[in-house]
Structure 1
Amino acid sequence: MAKATLGIIGGSGLYDLPGLQDVRELDVATPWGEPSAPLKEGRIGATRIVFLPRHGIGHRFSPSDIDYRANIDALKRAGVTDLVSLSACGSYREDLPPGMFVLVDQFIDRTFRRESSFFGAGCVAHVAFSDPVAPNLVARLAKAAAEENLAHIVGGTYVCMEGPQFSTRAESSAYKAMGASVVGMTNMPEAKLAREAEISYATVAMVTDYDAWRPQEAGVEVSSILEVMRANVAAAGRLVARLAAEFPEEREACPVGSDRALDYAILTPPDFRDPALMAKLEAIASRVL
């Protein structure tokens, strides 16, 4: 079994990782572009951790401008086996108030401006994605949240909208009626790319506000969510510290196959594969190529 390395992607408000020790910066080059920021490698206890602020230092990248392929490729090159996305989100449910952590198990992808696959013309691949998060990783997060007395639920559907504008009331009401739990702007195509890279992935959707479906309230504004965001960031630091304290040394086999997603995914025979694309896939798919 491979050694386990825990990756953490920090969303809005989370540009550093409290408690990370023996930190060094990693400038990782990728064939897809530059990641949002240099990776920060360190440890919490005995667990090796690699941290990446999704929006860059100083929140320079909007959700549509993030180079998701570069981010995931860089994390893969750094040895990340398990990846936790910490993401601010809006709630579609009264029982998911600001401050609640939702360990989502499904996604609805409504993005349209983003590259969503490492594969394409010259090497076609189709990975299984019916179960988009890694159950073992979610279970560890749930245990850590319970031990830290953090308000959380296990399960829920995350709608990923393009942004950067917040939802209209019609959009918010429509997704609420569909049964979605939360809405954000960043977990797609991030989760899809992590699956292609055979990285086990889980999301901690940190509720900052109710979305625009409540007619008695004003619409969502950044000024109204900053205080909640700060509290969520502090709680997220505790969650990661507890998760790291009990994280296994060896990578666990994933029940939904996220660690072997490419076993039967590539359809293009070797003689028909584009050499230039093959070179770009070196880190992502070297296990099967």
Structure 2
Amino acid sequence: METMIGVIGGSGVYQIDGLDDAEWVDVASPFGTPSDQVLTGRLGGVRMAFLPRHGRGHVHSPTSVPYRANIDALKRLGVTDVISVSACGSFREEMAPGDFVIVDQFIDRTFGREKSFFGEGLVAHVSVAHPTCPRLSEACAMAARAAGVTVHEGGTYLAMEGPQFSSLAESKLYREVWGCDVIGMTNMPEAKLAREAELCYASVAMVTDYDSWHPHHGEVDIAEIIATLSGNADKARAMVAGLPALLGAARLPCPHGCDRALDTAILTAPDRRDPAMVEKLSAIAGRVL
């Protein structure tokens, strides 16, 4: 099987440079229209697809991002490994603006989004006890460090609905009581959907601010965030450039089972499955259906 790296770019990351045979392509999905066209090509001999999560020009809010269509479109293109790049606030002094945090856990506080490909007529339950892929996360950490980025491996990401930033009371709750490390608005339900699609998923959270808990930084300042985003975007592109050499062109089975997440997940008996749902899920779950 051939490796294909899918990069989902967050705020500030709307383009990936240096792709050979670069082409923006339309991908039709039964789950709606993806955030934008997908930029395809090769980088270091490895196939790559880039999708700007908010669309070029930043037209989607965190709630309106078509998460299911995005993951389905990447799966249809042949993506095997998804790298999520997103801006975040930090709850830890040592996780400073400009640093990258390789997230390994989530607390999902979103409420206005479709969170599963499955449903009535075809029911499935996947495990997200460990929602990111250690192999892919390690590659991201190595590539980021090689690009000169300060990297923190491991961290809990609080996914909030937004689009407003946290109140001071919320920020203190997430930091002091719940023990979260970073906060953002877009990694959920994205990580859950990637698991349902049997895709390896790594989350690279790029710190832009200290949310509102920090006594010396005050509330989130959007002007400061935008300034930090520019530098983070350059670092993200440098990280992505180093991934092909680490992942290789030949795709081996995931040692952590991400690519087999549906082996025992589907509960609906074969003779009771809705044919329309089976067709709709042809890319996501075709291997087991």
Q: TM-score with structure 2 length normalisation?
A: 0.97
Query: Secondary structure of the equivalent of 2:247?
Result: coil
> Match of 1:26?
25
Matched residue type, 2:182:
V
Task: Confirm or deny: 8 A CA contact 1:24 1:40 kept in the other structure.
Answer: yes
CA deviation after TM superposition for structure 1 residue 249, in Å: 1.5
Taking the TM superposition and a 5 Å limit, the aligned residue runs for 1:153-192 are: 153-177=152-176, 178-192=178-192
Query: Secondary structure of the equivalent of 2:137?
Result: helix
Matched, 1:268 2:268: yes
Task: Confirm or deny: 8 A CA contact 1:169 1:212 kept in the other structure.
Answer: yes
Task: Confirm or deny: 8 A CA contact 1:131 1:256 kept in the other structure.
Answer: no
> How far, CA to CA, are the matches of 2:145 and 2:24 in structure 1?
32
Long gaps (5+) in structure 1: none
CA deviation after TM superposition for structure 1 residue 14, in Å: 0.6
> How far, CA to CA, are the matches of 1:64 and 1:147 in structure 2?
34
> Match of 1:217?
217
Matched, 1:113 2:112: yes
Taking the TM superposition and a 5 Å limit, the aligned residue runs for 1:18-97 are: 18-97=17-96
Q: 1:212 to 1:58 in 2, by over 3 A?
A: same
User: What are the superposed Cα offsets for residues 216-256 of structure 1, whole Å, 9 maximum, x if unpaired?
Assistant: 43311311211111000001111000112332222232233
Task: Confirm or deny: 8 A CA contact 1:89 1:184 kept in the other structure.
Answer: yes
Query: Secondary structure of the equivalent of 1:23?
Result: strand
Taking the TM superposition and a 5 Å limit, the aligned residue runs for 1:129-140 are: 129-140=128-139
> How far, CA to CA, are the matches of 1:169 and 1:252 in structure 2?
46
Matched residue type, 2:117:
F
Query: Secondary structure of the equivalent of 1:144?
Result: helix
Stretch deviating more after TM superposition (137-146 or 118-127) = 137-146
Task: Confirm or deny: 8 A CA contact 2:144 2:236 kept in the other structure.
Answer: no
> How far, CA to CA, are the matches of 1:149 and 1:36 in structure 2?
30
> How far, CA to CA, are the matches of 2:172 and 2:246 in structure 1?
40
> Match of 1:127?
126
Task: Confirm or deny: 8 A CA contact 2:101 2:152 kept in the other structure.
Answer: yes
Task: Confirm or deny: 8 A CA contact 2:42 2:48 kept in the other structure.
Answer: yes
> How far, CA to CA, are the matches of 2:175 and 2:218 in structure 1?
17
> How far, CA to CA, are the matches of 1:117 and 1:22 in structure 2?
34
CA deviation after TM superposition for structure 1 residue 150, in Å: 1.1
User: What are the superposed Cα offsets for residues 176-221 of structure 1, whole Å, 9 maximum, x if unpaired?
Assistant: 0121110000000000000000000001000000111123433113
> How many residue pairs align between the two structures?
288
CA deviation after TM superposition for structure 1 residue 276, in Å: 1.4
> Match of 1:282?
282
CA deviation after TM superposition for structure 1 residue 268, in Å: 0.3
Matched residue type, 2:247:
F
Long gaps (5+) in structure 2: none
CA deviation after TM superposition for structure 1 residue 141, in Å: 1.2
Matched residue type, 1:77:
R
CA deviation after TM superposition for structure 1 residue 107, in Å: 0.5
> How far, CA to CA, are the matches of 1:226 and 1:124 in structure 2?
42
CA deviation after TM superposition for structure 1 residue 24, in Å: 1.0
> Match of 2:243?
243
> How far, CA to CA, are the matches of 1:234 and 1:216 in structure 2?
27
> How far, CA to CA, are the matches of 1:136 and 1:153 in structure 2?
16
Stretch deviating more after TM superposition (98-107 or 242-251) = 242-251
CA deviation after TM superposition for structure 1 residue 279, in Å: 1.2
Q: TM-score with structure 1 length normalisation?
A: 0.97
Q: 1:274 to 1:51 in 2, by over 3 A?
A: same
Taking the TM superposition and a 5 Å limit, the aligned residue runs for 1:142-157 are: 142-157=141-156
Stretch deviating more after TM superposition (137-146 or 184-193) = 137-146
Task: Confirm or deny: 8 A CA contact 1:161 1:184 kept in the other structure.
Answer: yes
Stretch deviating more after TM superposition (22-31 or 261-270) = 22-31
Query: Secondary structure of the equivalent of 2:171?
Result: helix
Task: Confirm or deny: 8 A CA contact 1:135 1:254 kept in the other structure.
Answer: no
> Match of 2:230?
230
> How far, CA to CA, are the matches of 2:279 and 2:61 in structure 1?
29
> How far, CA to CA, are the matches of 1:130 and 1:250 in structure 2?
28
CA deviation after TM superposition for structure 1 residue 20, in Å: 2.0
**What percentage of aligned pairs have identical amino acids?**
56
